[in-house]
Structure 1
Amino acid sequence: MPGPAGDVAAPGLAEDAAALRRALAESDGAVVVGHSYGGTVMAEGADHPSARHLVYITSYLPEAGTSQAEIMAEEPDPVVVEPGPDGALRIAGYDPETFGRRFWQDLDDDAARRGAWERVTAQSAAAFTTPTTRAAWQGVPSTYLVCVRDGSTSLALQRRHAARATASFDLETGHHPFLSAPEAVAERLVEILGAVREA
């Protein structure tokens, strides 16, 4: 997505959703997978005939008219973001160790933890403050993967959004299951792909 580019002038939700629609336009049938903020992008951009199924990984299925900031405000202990000198929003109050305890507490590979921290970047405020205008999940079958041990997106908030999906499954992982339990994620995605092909 173009949004996580690390400066205040970077594209936001509208541009991220447009990029998704362009990718879908090049497909004759896709399973779209979104993690965290990616679910908000899917809500805005996956209302496309090529979108056959939506997969949300510890993510969000917002109603139209909802911004990412509004979703995050529902958290009892939200991750704090603040503008940097350039105005772009950055995670605030964390170092590699404390960030790892919240986001990667189930990731044992130190090199992977360091690499993930190095890829944490800023986003434009528009990614957080722009309300959605669509809710693609209302018209496309969807599956929600609930990450039960997530220290970032609360289980209660995940359950609320998972209730909007067609189906949901629990993973005993933190916020990044594709890093800590890639086999479990791949197994579920293969099942979904098989079901979509048979439909």
Structure 2
Amino acid sequence: MATRVVFVHGACVRDGSWWWRRTAELLRERGVPSVAPELPSCGEAGQPVDADGPGLPEDVAAVRRLLLADNEPTVVVAHSYGGIVTAEAAAGIGSVRHLLLVSSYLPEVGQSLSDFGDDGPAPFLDVDPASGTFGVRPELLVDTFLQDCDPEDKEQAEHHLARQSVRVTAQPVGAAAWQQVPSTYLVCAQDGGTPPGRQRDFARRAGGIVELDAGHHPFLSRPAAVRDLLLSL
């Protein structure tokens, strides 16, 4: 049983602890602490988010610093884009005992986020070439990503969106932690952002696959199920 959980949030959001809070509370009740590092490419380090701002290397460094700061056994939960960050950030760190990929990616060395997408941006994304940033279209947020969440979370989620440096989509990872560390993929069968069929394709690289009847954020909509899965790891 891991002593702590590290939650790495996805693209175009900030305040990972807000997205993670419902599962974090249930884990605390079982004596399991958790933490959600900030990602500079989403503006969480105070640096401007633009074409020249922080990208994937800075996100990797931020997560890696947190993982190295404590030698307690750790499970890393990587959500969506967080799987790209975690692939490099968790590599070669002995305290990391398991990776849980939630509607996420397991990139090979040299692959980037764009290798897992279609030719153009998804319809729920707003890409601004002038500023070098992209973000979720607020009017599509709930129907795409939060349809199974509580009304309170649906109402508050927009305030936790962020513009993100578009650089992260093309920057390749320099390591693939999932090749070294046991990994489990959580397929979100009602996800409107990453189709379940695509997730099942991505999941083939993982050591284990679990499927949950949930949308893109099961740690909000099905926190007890996510807690139980983590406790089983």
**TM-score, normalising length from structure 1?**
0.86
Q: Does 1:151 align with 2:195?
A: no
- Check 1:22–1:149 CA distance in 2 against 1; reply closer, same or farther (3 A cut): same
Query: Using the alignment, how far apart are the partners of 1:99 and 1:19 within structure 2?
Result: 27
- Check 1:20–1:39 CA distance in 2 against 1; reply closer, same or farther (3 A cut): same
- Check 1:78–1:69 CA distance in 2 against 1; reply closer, same or farther (3 A cut): farther
Q: Is the 8 A contact 2:41 2:49 kept in 1?
A: no
One-letter code of the match for 1:22? R
Q: Aligned to 1:102, which of 136, 140, 144? A: 144
Summarize deviations over 1:25-49 as a string: whole Å, max 9, x none: 1121211111000001011211022
Aligned partner of 1:197 in structure 2 is none
- Check 1:74–1:136 CA distance in 2 against 1; reply closer, same or farther (3 A cut): farther
Q: Does 1:177 align with 2:218?
A: yes
Aligned partner of 2:16 in structure 1 is none
Q: Does 1:138 align with 2:176?
A: no
Aligned to 2:165, the other structure's residue is in SS state: coil
Report 1:17-28 matches (<5 A). 17-28=60-71
One-letter code of the match for 2:192? G
| Structure 1: gaps (5+ residues) | 193-199
Q: Is the 8 A contact 1:75 1:153 kept in 2?
A: no
**TM-score, normalising length from structure 2?**
0.74
One-letter code of the match for 2:151? D
Query: Using the alignment, how far apart are the partners of 1:102 and 1:95 within structure 2?
Result: 10
Q: Is the 8 A contact 2:101 2:183 kept in 1?
A: yes
Q: Is the 8 A contact 1:64 1:135 kept in 2?
A: yes
**Per-residue deviation, 1:77:** 5.7
Q: Aligned to 1:34, which of 78, 85, 110? A: 78
Q: Does 1:129 align with 2:170?
A: yes
Summarize deviations over 1:114-154 as a string: whole Å, max 9, x none: 21122111111222121112111011101111101100011
Aligned to 1:52, the other structure's residue is in SS state: strand
Query: Using the alignment, how far apart are the partners of 2:120 and 2:188 within structure 1?
Result: 15
One-letter code of the match for 1:61? L
Please give the root-mean-square deviation of Cα atoms over the aligned residues, in Å: 2.0
Q: Is the 8 A contact 1:74 1:157 kept in 2?
A: no
Query: Using the alignment, how far apart are the partners of 1:181 and 1:162 within structure 2?
Result: 20
**Per-residue deviation, 1:75:** 9.2
Summarize deviations over 1:154-186 as a string: whole Å, max 9, x none: 112211121111111011000001111111111
Number of equivalenced pairs = 188
Aligned to 2:158, the other structure's residue is in SS state: helix
Query: Using the alignment, how far apart are the partners of 1:87 and 1:18 within structure 2?
Result: 21
Summarize deviations over 1:5-41 as a string: whole Å, max 9, x none: 1721442111111112111211212111110000010
Aligned partner of 1:90 in structure 2 is 135
